[in-house]
Amino acid sequence: MPEQFDTLQRGRTESVNEVLNSTSRKKIVVAGPGTGKTYLFKRLAEQAGGNALAITFINNLADDLRNELQNLAESRTFHSLCKGLLHGLPVKGITNNFSYFPKLSGIISSDAHLLSGPCGDMDAPFQQLSEGEDRIEFYLQRGDYYDAVSPNDMVYRVIQVFRVEPDRIPAYNLIMVDEYQDFNKLEVELIDILADKSPILIVGDDDQALYTLKHASPDFLRQKYASSQFANFELPFSSRCPSVVIEAANRLIEKAQESGYLRNRVDKRSTCFLPDKYQDSMDNPKLIGVKCSVDQPNAPYMGMYIGHATKEIVDSGYRPVHEKNTCDFLIAGRRDLLPRIHEVLSQLFPKIEYRRTQDSSLSLYDCFAQLLDRDQSKIAWRALLEFESQRTRQRIVDLSSDRGTSIIQLIPHSIREFHQKTLSILSSIREGTEIDLTEEKWLEDAFREPIAAITSSSSLFPDGGEAEEDSGQNDNFRVTIATFMGCKGLQANYVFLVGFNDRFLPADPRCPSDYEICQAVVGMTRARKRCHLIYAGRLRGVPHRPSVFMDWIGDDLFERVEVNKDFFT
């Protein structure tokens, strides 16, 4: 075994040194989970001698890079970088003190509907860089009027300035871009523009492409990897997952390719780095394939099984981890299966992180969160009109089409006065001032929610809330429930993937999508010790088969568990 360890160690060192020793200004590295990307970024930033930039999409990954790179490089999410750039650029139509309102596209879509009729998806033309589209021009005009931007048009505005004034493109000793498979055409365009002035390293894994809803595509990574302009490298050695998880992911991908999926995929194969993962691999030689006889409201066996398994682990003397972005127990699956799991586990773990998908619909919280920071925000006042009658909204938006008068001045005094009183009460709470029962009642009527829900809102009061009291020994364990997309950027000692059924994952077993294959790969490769794949023989009253993906992985990699009513007795 030591001889095998030496071979793996030499292989990993060589794969890193190949990148470090390359003199190419444009490098691309394909690297899966736990393969040492952060270490590589640190070595390259040291080599660059400062003035380096690290970009990723996920907030917690940006935080990790910031902590690791310290003063060696500036670490930003892609959109925070664009926001910072835009504040310093001469952008026609908006001020440098613009409002950043992520749900702006919904407001502009509403404006378009009121002014000229339904207009379709307002984000897609930006994301696909469909320049010349009427929707882009209308969006920018309304954004100018509100002096506001949202993620997509913000990137587009930066691109427009850099195209006209290339001297304003910032130069770095090195730009490092992570998770490149999650970029869409708009974002790729800006990265390409930045690379005109600076050496660039792109890192990604087309087996983890989950952002298709924003028109991201792994093809952008694949095209660059196939391009003669980039020097290609690979980090194949994973220090996160035990060997059985790596083998299961490799088999799933190989079977997918044999069946005609993942076409044009970058040719690579992950290897378990046994010097780090030997004991975990020995202790957990198999995936756990769990068949629950049913899962229904009066017999939520998938959640009950997870509760049983986690209790056994805790009772065995397992000690919780205390590492950022690392969970003790991670439960992932389709969004509609998670609430019941959460309900069951809440009885065991009082402090569960439930990563619900961000709601795209507008709420009063969105409006007042903005107004608490800037009470004259035009877009926040316009957004409040979405909660008024259509007749009121139509009249005001019609008047605003002339764009000569501020939207705030067009809002009737009675409506402004009502919202200003609400804002005044919220400001008092934020400043730590006690409010009386009349003011509490006012807020409850305005938000149509209990005062406790309002005052505990993290969007309104990000630094508020009282510290929770210790309510039991299980509070020490970090338990996270998330969709497959929501668990990106996380890892966990024990992973439970629920709904591993045909017609759930994948929706059509005869024709799985590349997206569903990537979901399974991402879910499994969060595991540092053991991974459980859980399916139900009868789900929502309908018989179901286990996922075809389990057949692709192969029975020899599974330890099977049967869960029925007798299991719990």
pLDDT in tens, 75-84: 999 999 999 9
Q: Provide the pLDDT for residue 283.
A: 95
| Residue 501: DSSP 8-state | B
CA dist., res. 107 & res. 378, Å (int): 12
- The pair of structure tokens assigned to 540 is 């929502």
CA dist., res. 338 & res. 356, Å (int): 9
Average pLDDT over residues 148-176: 96
CA dist., res. 376 & res. 399, Å (int): 19
Whether 468 shows a pLDDT value over 80: the answer reads no
Tell me what percent of the residues of the chain surpass a pLDDT of 90: 83
CA dist., res. 332 & res. 353, Å (int): 12
Between 175-184, 355-364, 490-499, 532-541, the lowest mean confidence (pLDDT) is in 355-364
Q: Name the pTM for this structure.
A: 0.92
CA dist., res. 474 & res. 38, Å (int): 31
Whether 214 shows a pLDDT value over 70: the answer reads yes
Between 196-205, 318-327, 546-555, the lowest mean confidence (pLDDT) is in 318-327
Instruction: Work out the widest C-alpha separation in the chain, in whole angstroms.
Output: 80
Whether 475 shows a pLDDT value over 60: the answer reads no
At residue 59 the predicted structure's pLDDT band, cuts being 50, 70 and 90, is confident
Average pLDDT over residues 123-140: 95
Q: Which residue in this structure is represented by tokens 């709601």?
A: 359
Are the beta carbons of 249 and 524 closer than 8 angstroms? yes
pLDDT tens-digit profile of 269-285? Answer: 899 999 999 999 999 99
At residue 358 the predicted structure's pLDDT band, cuts being 50, 70 and 90, is low
Mean pLDDT of the chain: 92
Strands (E), 293-398: 326-332, 352-355
Q: Provide the pLDDT for residue 465.
A: 44
